A and B are shown apart, each in its own frame.
Chain A
Amino acid sequence: MKVTFPHMGNMYVPIKVLLDTSGIDYVMPPYCTNEPLELGIRHSPEFACLPFKTILGDFIYGVDNGADFILFAGGRGQCRLGYYGDLQAEILKSLDYKVKFVCLDLTNLTPKEILNRIKPLTEGKSILNIIKGIIYAVKTVYMVDNLNELARYTRCREIIKGQTDRLISQFHNLAQKANGYKNISDIINLTKKSLRQIPVDKKYKPVKVSIVGEMYVSTHPNINFQLEKKLGNMGVEVQNNLSISHWITDHFVRKLLPIKFKKEPHEAGKEYMKTNDIGGHGIHTIGCSILSAKNNFDGVIHLYPFTCMPEIIAQCAFSEVQNKYDIPIMTLIIDEMTGEAGYMTRLEAFIDMLKMKSEVATTNN
């Protein structure tokens, strides 16, 4: 069995580690190219959200290139993400692809259940290697997110512009070719070391912007037009409130621990939504923007794919959040028709405004 998987930001690095370690054969769709996206758009419903289209595109590309097994995660509830798997399986079937489609329900899953569901894939493979693979993969998730964290710090402070970008793109080139935990972790550590050696201006006080919104669009650079990179090169320090490591911490690590944690953004978001769930990251989005204001960020960028239902609800709260917490929020909606130039213009105008605002604040004090 040969498996294929969709891209989501840097997620391919830990997935590669997992599959390599457990000895499962796979096809990886190309990272950050438009070919799979176009395949996805051609076969998706017009008003499906962008993540659906890119994920479907990655699947079709993978199956075209020899994969015969797809592993996908879904859930239950209001957000469409829970039903992606069923529709994608249906579309692949009607396109006459012969492929086994397994959908994991991720809302409440323990590691043991995951192992059970992926049995067809793991048959004949050593259990020890699979467990090792999972542990290594989780470790890699944290390592990669750490690396990104560091890149966000250096990118806006570096003295010679472009050094961070060069190291990060070098990292991606190497990571796509490398196999196995050892090689990949070596590459991560090496990149980390070189990032630390970049000369930075330590006195520089950057404008701080926090990214909230839908997880896929916020973490996948290919469809958010490399937002983090663009902001960093404008001299802005970025905090992305959505990353896979956050998500794993919230959903798995904290559930296994005996102490119950309250999810801070979630509690903060409830100020405007008197319910526990409006689907997707809706409440998280509101909560994170409130917390960003409290943590002295200069602005918030709200990202979501066109027709995303939970984020449309969250957006209603923003006019009040902006006034009450005195923080500018800009909403950017992305679909396959979004033009990069118009997107850039809005981004530049927003950042200019933030810079002017903080200058006025410092001269007044």
Chain B
Amino acid sequence: MITIGLPKGLFYFEHNMLWERFFKNLGCNVITSQDTNKQILDYGVKCCSNETCLPVKVFHGHVYSIKDIVDYVFIPRYISLDKNEYTCPKFCGLPDMAVLNLKRQVKVLEVRIHTDMFPSETFDSLLEISRVLNIKYSDIIEAFKAASKEFDEYIQNRHKFNQYIKDVSSTKSALSVLGHPYMIYDSYLSMTLLDKLTRRSITVYTPKDIDHETKRRNAYPFQGKVFWDVGFELLGSAFTFAEDKNIKGLIYLTPFACGVDAFILEFIERRIKSHYNIPLLKLTIDEHTGEAGFDTRLEAFLDMVG
């Protein structure tokens, strides 16, 4: 049986279910790397260039940690995930980056996704997978379609099961944590930020809690225009939460020198200053960030918000 490795970084936090199902449908054995830890981070830092951002470094650490126990490491190549929505350039080059930075010691499987301009590329790459894994092409297509159908249903309904919709009419005060999914849901990179807040019995909402359409509608000034997908998510969530009276503050978690966040945060900061009256805490994280300093800033912010 073929063993496929899924690194627990970047795309994993949004699309783990899709790819796990896909490979299980094909009858492959799927191994996920461990949660991020010091060792994974250290290896990632060692094999990437300095300028690479922290989440990409960590991703390399994950690939390294499983490369010897699996037959192939799966790294999708996301270029555009929806009409008019592009990804960060790092996602487009991710499979090549991993191969080059790990000195070609890793075998990578990729699926290309370019919904905006070349949707057919996905099927070309599936054909390639069928050749590499020696599985019939029709089986691959079937497995992919079943997995993506299940995934779409989950995404469509995800926000219905969460607390935000139910709480929106109440007067319960809460905070919102914003950032790339691979920053806020990775508890090592976020220094267990979500846990820290829940332990103080603070209700926390993240971009996951708002439905797709609302986020696109509120993503000032890019409604109907071309932008990064994560940009739509974060701009939309920030302005949706900012309008909610119950939300007492926004915390934005960003990796050091993130090119995408540099722009998104500027849009959020300028608009929040001029149109809303809500405090915003920006926490920048890199591999040298000390947890004590991080906690001090967080505590000061929580005291101020009250």
- Contact residues of B between 96 and 130, Cβ < 8 Å to A: 96-97, 100-101, 110, 112
A308 interfacial contact with B, CB 8 Å:
yes
Q: Which of A280, A315, A317 contacts B51 (CB 8 A)?
A: A315
> Is residue A260 contacting chain B, with contact meaning CB distance below 8 A?
no
Stretch in A74-82, A139-147, A169-177, A342-350 with 4+ CB within 8 Å of B: A74-82
* CA gap between A306 and B49 in the complex, in Å: 13
Instruction: Give bound CA distance, A105 to B125, whole Å.
Output: 30
Q: Mark A48-83, 1 if CB is under 8 A from B, else 0.
A: 110000000000000000000000000011111011
Most buried by B among A48, A274, A319: A274
Q: Which residues of A contact B258 (CB under 8 A)?
A: 47
A317 touches B100 (CB 8 A): yes
The answer to whether B259 and A80 touch across the interface, beta carbons within 8 angstroms, is: yes
- The minimal Cβ–Cβ distance linking A150 to chain B, given in whole angstroms, is 35
B157: CB under 8 A from chain A? no
- Please give the distance in Å from A26's CB to the nearest CB on chain B: 27
Tell me the minimal C-beta distance from B158 to chain A in angstroms.
26
Structural contact, A76 and B257, CB atoms closer than 8 A: no
The proximity string for B residues 37-63 relative to A, scoring 1 for CB distances below 8 Å and 0 otherwise, is: 000000000001101100000000000
> Is B51 a contact partner of A307 (Cβ separation < 8 A)?
yes
A353 within 8 A of B: no
Interface contact B51-A87, CB-CB below 8 Å: no
Does B263 sit within 8 A of A, measured CB to CB? yes
Q: Which of the residues B101, B259, B266 comes within 8 Å of A308, measured between beta carbons?
A: B259
Contact A278–B263 (Cβ < 8 Å): no
- B233 / chain A contacts, CB cutoff of 8 Å: none
Q: Which of B51, B79, B86, B270 contacts A91 (CB 8 A)?
A: B270
- With A277-B79, A317-B100 already in contact, the answer to whether A79 and B89 are too (CB < 8 A) is yes
Q: Which residue of A lies closest to B100 (CB)?
A: A316
Q: Name the one of B89, B95, B270, B273 contacting A78, with C-beta atoms under 8 angstroms.
A: B89
Q: In the complex, A290 Cα to B15 Cα: how many Å? A: 36
Give which listed residue, B226, B259, B266, contacts A87 with CB less than 8 A.
Answer: B266
B274 within 8 A of A: yes
B261 lies within 8 A of chain A by Cβ: yes
A308 vs B77: C-alpha distance in the bound complex, in angstroms?
A: 19
CB of A313 within 8 Å of the partner chain:
yes
- Determine whether the beta carbon of B51 is less than 8 Å from that of A48: no
Q: Does A273 contact B (CB under 8 A)?
A: yes
- The minimal Cβ–Cβ distance linking B36 to chain A, given in whole angstroms, is 21
- Contacts A90-B221, A317-B100: A306 and B89 contacting too (C-beta < 8 A)? no
Contact of B96 among A76, A86, A272 (CB under 8 A): A272
Give CA–CA (A82, B225) in the complex, Å: 11
Residues facing B in A307-355 (CB within 8 A) are: 307-310, 312-313, 315-317, 319-320, 333
Q: Encode B221-258 as 1/0 by CB contact (under 8 A) with A.
A: 11001111000000000000000000000000000011
B215 to chain A, nearest CB (A): 18
Q: Which of B86, B97, B270 lies in contact with A313, CB distance below 8 A?
A: B97
Residues of the B chain whose Cβ atoms lie less than 8 Å from the Cβ of A313: 89-90, 92-93, 96-97
Which listed residue, A76, A80, A86, A275, touches B92 by the CB 8 Å rule? A275
Closest Cβ neighbor of B128 among chain A residues = A274
Is B265 part of the contact surface with A, judged by Cβ < 8 Å? yes
Across-interface contacts of A47 in B (CB, < 8 A): 257-259, 261-262
Residue contact A78 to B87, C-beta cutoff 8 Å: yes
Q: Output the nearest chain A residue to B47 by Cβ-Cβ distance.
A: A316
Instruction: Say yes or no for A199: interface residue by CB 8 A criterion.
Output: no
Selected from A77, A86, A307, A319, the residue in CB contact (under 8 A) with B262 is A307
Give the interface of B toward A (CB within 8 A): 48-49, 51-52, 77, 79, 84, 86-90, 92-93, 95-97, 100-101, 110, 112, 221-222, 225-228, 257-263, 265-267, 270-271, 273-274
Top-10 shortest CB links A-B: A279-B89, A47-B262, A313-B93, A78-B89, A45-B266, A309-B89, A278-B93, A76-B226, A316-B100, A309-B259
Using a CB–CB distance below 8 Å, which chain A residues touch chain B? 44-49, 76-80, 82-83, 86-87, 90-91, 94, 272-275, 277-280, 282, 306-310, 312-313, 315-317, 319-320, 333
Q: Can you offer 28 A-B residue contacts whose CB atoms are under 8 A?
A: A45-B262, A45-B265, A46-B262, A47-B257, A49-B259, A77-B86, A78-B87, A78-B89, A80-B259, A80-B263, A83-B227, A86-B221, A91-B270, A94-B274, A272-B96, A274-B96, A275-B93, A275-B112, A307-B259, A312-B49, A313-B90, A315-B49, A316-B48, A316-B96, A316-B97, A316-B101, A319-B100, A333-B51
